[in-house]
Structure 1
């Protein structure tokens, strides 16, 4: 393995800040979505409905399909950092990592009970790909990552549709399961909601991720993140400064035409089935290219004097990303679901955004307080102890 030894302090600081930024963006999205309770609150004024629409579109433009991708990229990067640290001590990290993934899957199941849109279980399952990949060279890893990024299964599906276009387009299978959500999420039983999320909800989310090509992109981003770690690209020097500047320009240049195509697919492709399949590919590429814009812009801004003071505020949140991800699901479901306060009935995207901002500020203060007193976040501490339980 050809790896670079990074500056631990600067690397971890910018990575924590970036991870914290991703957590906050997820918090804002989940709140305007009412944590998957899609409901238009009645009785609001016309201007409020208009404002809700603008806020919804803006937040999804900025973060929809990008936040999970940032986490996936950082997941692969973190795997390299941990593996590299253990290698310096003469230890093979892969068996330990496999056990960590099993534990992460457990955290994900707990999180899924409160919020069916959980991503931890998917990361845990796909994370096993990193173990055999760790024995490959960078060129082979990049080849595999690009192949996965291109969405091979959807291209196969598209080729079949082009050859035999269906007379009518069927709804995605996931919609059947999403349609059953209101039976338990809007109800007043916490247990029924947990059961519904872990059964019907889990099927809906897994199918939706498959239908939108996210399994391939998550695996691809894991591999790209690992290569970023191997290349030492988060260590700040003149060479890497040039890399991130070029990455920002290239990703923005790629994103603009992709976004224009995405917004004009109805005029460009008349057949519904072909448009849906091609749109799945094109939208995923568009989202990931903008995610790279966000990451490269964040890294560059972080290393400016003014930018670092502001963006460092995200670092404590990022250090406790697992805890924050699970806790926001617990808090969000308590606020919006039927067994809690039922706020989904009264809040639109504007109020959801304000609630999300308030929760993010409180989360920032709470994490700052915690990090000054403890080495790990609450769930991170449990994860750490269980990870190394067999070595004591």
Structure 2
């Protein structure tokens, strides 16, 4: 790559790297208290710790459940914008190269699934294809499509169908069957059993759960919104972007409060299960989006504050190595909790698991800080970058 190419690249935006680091950190903490989807709660714990476990569980899921992944999805779309914009400045079409990049991401997700069936990289790799056509659309069209997807159209169809057909009863969720079948290998002490189970039963459980909970619509919507934030330069500090994030914070808080209250009391308002299920998915999706907007807006607004910046900027190396950290937490976390490793699932409730997660985070961020002193990218980020720009025959533009 020539110097002129490098000069055309937009400088990295620190707040985005820090925000991505925040998202990965919170995802790690959630995965730990969930035992990486091995839901086992030790009974031989004192009552006070069981109470503390419940408080920690509910607090972390209130703060991060469905929000951390949403931040990650938003920044996925923003990263695409940066890469695509850099290539457009060189009069090059990035779309073919991006498709190849998604195929590579699918491979990383496959490796991650070996250790943790709840991997989101494979899902992002497939859903990310939507960015290829929409990147050429104007802002208004992209925004309208993003809003339609965020509204959860399939669940609205299911809701009105249930409303118009009182006699109809929706069948059980497919994911429940898959998750139930996972018990057959989660109790094993063989790593090979976990590999086979995660790549078959577990993978289908994760995909089915994502579909049933509206992720197949919300994620592409967030990809597009992230791309639009990039187009509008709203992650770059300016008077206009500062005003935008202040308004976004205000509107997000105003939206979140009634949505959260409605989500909480919805089972008492809607008694029929068929209608309740769809409405719960819709309201939960909107509530999570609103709170995600609160977190992102607040993070961006407080980031420039001197004392806050000294703390949050430490997340930058962690965010720059998000792919490495995401996969490594699965490898290490699975070994800690699953029975082929240390089997800590037997002994750790949410409190102990949170402490383990915090310890792993400290170790990872220390490694990232050390690594980035002598490298521009993390190990897996480097491999992904090099593989993305590999030459295919004589056509070096693809």
TM-score range, shorter chain: over 0.9
For residue 389 of structure 1, give the secondary structure of its aligned residue in structure 2: coil
> Contact between 2:13 and 2:236, CA under 8 Å: does it hold in 1?
no
Partner of 1:39: 40
* Distance in 2 between residues matched to 1:289 and 1:7, nearest whole Å: 32
Does residue 238 of the first structure (1) align with residue 230 of the second (2)?
no
Deviations 1:352-386 (A, max 9, x none): 11011111111110000000011111111111111
Name the structure 1 match of 2:5.
none
Could you say which residue in structure 1 is the equivalent of 2:267? 266
Contact 2:10-2:82 within 8 A present in 1 as well: no
1:171 deviation in Å? Answer: 2.7
Query: Are 1:319 and 2:320 matched, yes or no?
Result: yes
Whether the aligned pair in 2 keeps the contact of 1:166 and 1:273 (CA below 8 Å) is: no
Distance across 2 between alignment mates of 1:8 and 1:301: 23
Q: 8 Å contact 2:9–2:86 — kept in the other structure? A: no
CA–CA distance in structure 1, aligned partners of residues 166 and 107 of structure 2:
42
Report what 1:221 is aligned to: 222
Q: Which residue of 1 aligns with 2:75?
A: 74
Please name the residue that 1:343 is paired with: 344
Contact 2:266 2:276 (8 Å CA) reproduced: yes
**Residue 166 and residue 362 in structure 1: after superposition, are their counterparts in 2 closer, same or farther (change >3 A)?**
farther
Distance 2:243 2:15 in 1: 17
Preserved CA contact (<8 Å) 1:317 1:367? yes
- Which residue is 1:354 aligned to? 355
- The Cα of 1:277 is off from its aligned counterpart by 1.2
Q: Give the stretch that moved more between structures: 170-179 or 366-375.
A: 170-179
Measured in 2, the distance between the counterparts of 1:166 and 1:73 equals 40
CA contact (8 A) 1:335 1:342 kept: yes
- Per the alignment, in what secondary structure is the counterpart of residue 202 of structure 1? helix
Q: Structure 1 residue 308: deviation in Å?
A: 1.1
Deviation at 1:8, TM superposition (A): 4.3
Where 1:235 maps in the other structure, the secondary structure is coil
In structure 2, C-alpha distance between the alignment counterparts of 1:166 and 1:213, rounded to whole Å: 25
What is aligned with 1:98?
99
Task: Provide the C-alpha distance between the structure 1 equivalents of 2:155 and 2:314, rounded to a whole number of angstroms.
Answer: 40
- 2:52–2:351 Cα contact (<8 Å) kept: yes
- The aligned runs of 1:298-317 (5 Å cut-off) are 298-317=299-318
Partners of 1:253 and 1:338 lie apart in 2 by: 45
CA contact (8 A) 1:323 1:379 kept: yes
Deviation of 1:307 after TM superposition, in Å, equals: 1.6
Matched pairs, number? 387
| Structure 2: gaps spanning 5 or more residues | 1-7
Q: Is the 8 A contact 1:186 1:342 kept in 2?
A: no
Q: Which residue of 2 aligns with 1:3?
A: none
Q: Which runs of 5 or more residues in structure 1 are unaligned? A: 1-5
Contact 2:162 2:168 in 1 (8 A): no
Residues 241-264 of structure 1: CA deviation (Å, up to 9, x unaligned): 111011001001100000000110
Q: Tell me the distance in 2 between the aligned counterparts of 1:222 and 1:76.
A: 4
Displacement of 1:7 after TM fit?
10
| Residues 124-163 of structure 1 aligned to structure 2 (within 5 Å) | 124-163=125-164
Query: In 2, Cα distance between the equivalents of 1:12 and 1:351?
Result: 35
What corresponds to 1:389 in structure 2? 390
- Return the alpha-carbon distance in structure 1 between the equivalents of residues 97 and 170 of structure 2: 46
Q: Secondary structure at the match of 1:358?
A: helix
Instruction: Name which of structure 1's ranges 268-277 and 130-139 shifts more when overlaid on structure 2.
Output: 268-277
2:317–2:372 CA contact under 8 A, matched in 1: yes
Please report the RMSD computed on the Cα atoms of aligned residues, expressed in angstroms.
1.5
**Pairing of 1:6-17 with structure 2 (within 5 A):** 8-9=10-11, 12-17=13-18
Mapped contact 1:186–1:339 kept (Cα < 8 A): no
Structure 1 equivalent of residue 202 of structure 2: 201
Q: Which runs of 4+ in 1 moved over 2 A?
A: 6-9, 165-171
Mapped partners of 2:301, 2:72: distance in 1: 18
Alignment map for 1:289-304 (pairs within 5 Å): 289-304=290-305
